[in-house]
Amino acid sequence: MTMALAYLLDTSIYSQPLKPTPNANVVARWKTLGDGPLAISVITEAELRYGLALKGSAKLDAAYAALLKGRFPVLPVDQVVGDVFAEMKATQQRAGKPVADLDLLIAATARTHGLIVATLNIRHFTLIADLVVEDWSLSELPPDDQPRPSP
């Protein structure tokens, strides 16, 4: 049985396997959920690849290829995500609570696909109304945070 997607990982979560000392709570959450309900945005992939290119480390590139490349569905920024992004950006600007465009694109992707944003940078996303966000630095899973089988 395949799992329905439930989470959109932001870069702070997606990059954990490449860290010298990954966040233990993220590792535990990942093990509990498995890969099935997890996806990333093309923005997250681009942010990680940019970081790797900037570092120019063959060791990190090899770790990325072995641990992350192709591991999760990569959700695109399409017209629907673009429309949601535009509305979110306007709402944030009107409220005087601007959010960085890349974070807004990740949020718009999550909202479009009905996914929870999994992050270690909770403050980046909690400014956005009606966005479901989970701080994976916390040690306990929320009670309803169990893998969900697809219908």
Nearest to 95 by CA among 126, 127, 132: 127
Q: How far is 33 from 115, CA to CA, in rounded Å?
A: 14
Domain annotation covers residue 57: yes
Instruction: Give Cα separations from 104 to 45, 98, 125, 135, 141 (angstroms).
Output: 15, 9, 8, 17, 25
Tens of pLDDT, residue by residue over 26-72, are: 999 988 999 999 999 999 999 999 999 999 999 999 999 988 999 99
Residue 119 near residue 136, CB atoms below 8 Å: yes
pLDDT at 142: 55
Contacts made by residues 90-94, CB under 8 angstroms, sequence distance 24+: 91/129, 92/127, 92/128
Neighbour-count burial of 125, counting CB atoms closer than 10 A to its CB (0-12 exposed, 13-18 middle, 19+ buried): buried
pLDDT at 150: 32
Q: The CATH number of the domain where 25 resides is what?
A: 3.40.50.1010
Tens of pLDDT, residue by residue over 94-125, are: 999 999 999 999 999 999 999 999 999 998 89
Residue 13 has pLDDT above 50, yes or no: yes
Q: How many CB atoms lie within 10 A of CB 61?
A: 16
Which residue range forms the structural domain that includes residue 51?
7-135
- Structure-token pair, residue 138: 């916390």
Domain annotation covers residue 33: yes
pTM: 0.88
pLDDT at 1: 44
Number of domains in the chain: 1
